[in-house]
Amino acid sequence: MTSVEPRYVALYRCGELERRARALEARLLSCDVCPRQCHVNRLEGEQGFCHSGRMPIVAAVCAHHGEEPPVSGTKGSGTVFFANCNMRCVYCQNHQISQDWRRQKANEIDCRSLAERMLYLQDELGCHNVNFVSPSHFVPQLVRAVAEAVPMGLRVPLVYNSSGYDSVASLRELDGIISVYLPDLRYASSKWARKFSQTGDYVSHARQAVKEMHRQVGDLVLDEHGVAQRGLIVRHLVLPNGIGGSQESLTWLARELGTTVAVSIMAQYSPQYRAQGIPLLSRTISTAEYEAVLDVVGRLGLENGWVQEMGSADSYLPDFERAGDPFHPVPGTAQ
């Protein structure tokens, strides 16, 4: 298909985008934006599990070339890395920005500034889309920034790139705003989700969220250049020792959404953050573990999607201590 104007533009013109922004902002008064439902008053600076208040916290903005091919395309995905997180994964590769919330306070910006950065990604870097990474606790701020950016000329598809630990009520407010959903489906066991990510209810929330995302955007649709315009891509990170429950998660996905859903099997697990001190998580995945997951994908008939190559564990590690792009050092600077 050829590129079409994103639906959020029409939502802005009819006033619906503003209505949703206000409704979501009102929920910050007793925050229930994510499944944590901390009910703190973020409008007055109170902080719950995510240690985030009224304003968005943006750790980095860059053109990312390491996403799935239809997301990165040839010009890169315009990535906005939100700081802090509503999960506590002991192996998080983004732990510099997801867990060190005291330092990230300095990266607070207002929604107008976020809108300007979105336009920078679209107009100056020429990215195919704007890709919000870890947005689950910043949905009101995301929608407000989009409402600010549309009259400034924002027209590219928006990507919602999350852990899957999302509120269905919040996702419903994104219907017509988000073009491409890129969630994780990380666990099939509440035991492991609780132990390694402090989210004992992850499985039920992530599965409900993935179904809602698919209801909104359906299967993946590409333009004539192979760039994503709409649809769902479900990521599954293969964890060592079967902790991710790959067979159960992928079987559920095929049963609930059908075998045409796009799936991204990720072999990039690396024992980051605290994982090196946890025996079950202290190594990369083995060839046998990797091939077992590929066998499940084949048996289920999940034919649409991508599979990372073995040995990719070190290829996707960001360094948020770098200025600007966490994936590529600025030429002439020390690495």
The helix/strand/coil state of 100 is: coil
Q: If pLDDT is split at 50, 70 and 90, which confidence band does 323 have?
A: low
What is residue 171's predicted lDDT score, i.e. its pLDDT? Answer: 98
Cα-trace Rg, the chain: 19
pLDDT above 70 for 315? no
What is residue 218's predicted lDDT score, i.e. its pLDDT? Answer: 98
Burial class of residue 117 in the structure, from the number of CB atoms within 10 Å of its CB (0-12 exposed, 13-18 middle, 19+ buried): middle
* Partner residues linked to 305 by β-bridges: 263
* Partner residues linked to 232 by β-bridges: 181
Q: Domain map of the chain by residue range? A: 7-307
Q: Is there a contact between 238 and 13 (Cβ–Cβ < 8 Å)?
A: no
Question: Mean per-residue pLDDT for 94-116?
Answer: 96
Cα 55–Cα 183–Cα 150 angle in degrees, nearest 5? 45
Question: Mean per-residue pLDDT for 40-51?
Answer: 97
Residue pLDDT, tens place only, 243-254: 999 999 999 999
Please enumerate in sequence order all residues whose Cβ is within 8 A of that of 276, keeping only pairs 6 or more positions apart, or say none: 282
Question: Please, what is the end-to-end C-alpha distance for the chain in angstroms?
Answer: 42
pLDDT above 70 for 331? no
Higher confidence at residue 95 or residue 4? 95
Q: Which two tokens stand for residue 89?
A: 């994964």
Q: Is there a contact between 201 and 222 (Cβ–Cβ < 8 Å)?
A: no
Half-sphere exposure of 294 (CA within 13 A, CB side): 13
pLDDT above 80 for 166? yes
Question: Mean per-residue pLDDT for 11-19?
Answer: 98
Q: If pLDDT is split at 50, 70 and 90, which confidence band does 319 have?
A: confident
pLDDT above 70 for 292? yes
Cα 22–Cα 27–Cα 32 angle in degrees, nearest 5? 145
Q: Is there a contact between 186 and 237 (Cβ–Cβ < 8 Å)?
A: yes
Indicate the Cα dihedral angle 153, 218, 31, 162, nearest 10°.
-80
Q: What is the DSSP string of 128-194?
A: S-EEEES-TT-HHHHHHHHHHHGGGT--S-EEEE--S---HHHHHTTTTT-SEE--B---S-HHHHH
Q: If pLDDT is split at 50, 70 and 90, which confidence band does 333 have?
A: very low
Q: If pLDDT is split at 50, 70 and 90, which confidence band does 329 have?
A: low
Fold of domain 7-307: TIM Barrel (3.20.20)
Burial class of residue 1 in the structure, from the number of CB atoms within 10 Å of its CB (0-12 exposed, 13-18 middle, 19+ buried): exposed
Q: Which two tokens stand for residue 99?
A: 């867990």
What is residue 3's predicted lDDT score, i.e. its pLDDT? Answer: 64
Q: Give one word for 257, left, alpha or beta, with left for phi > 0 and alpha for psi -120 to 50.
A: alpha
Q: State the DSSP H helix or E strand holding residue 264, giving kind and residue range, or none if neither.
A: strand 262-266
What is residue 313's predicted lDDT score, i.e. its pLDDT? Answer: 62
Q: Is there a contact between 183 and 208 (Cβ–Cβ < 8 Å)?
A: no
Q: Which two tokens stand for residue 133?
A: 């990474």
Q: Is there a contact between 222 and 1 (Cβ–Cβ < 8 Å)?
A: yes
Question: Mean per-residue pLDDT for 104-122?
Answer: 97
Question: Mean per-residue pLDDT for 196-224?
Answer: 98
CA distances in angstroms from 168 to 118, 182, 214, 333, listed in the order given: 25, 15, 12, 43
Nearest to 7 by CA among 212, 146, 167: 146
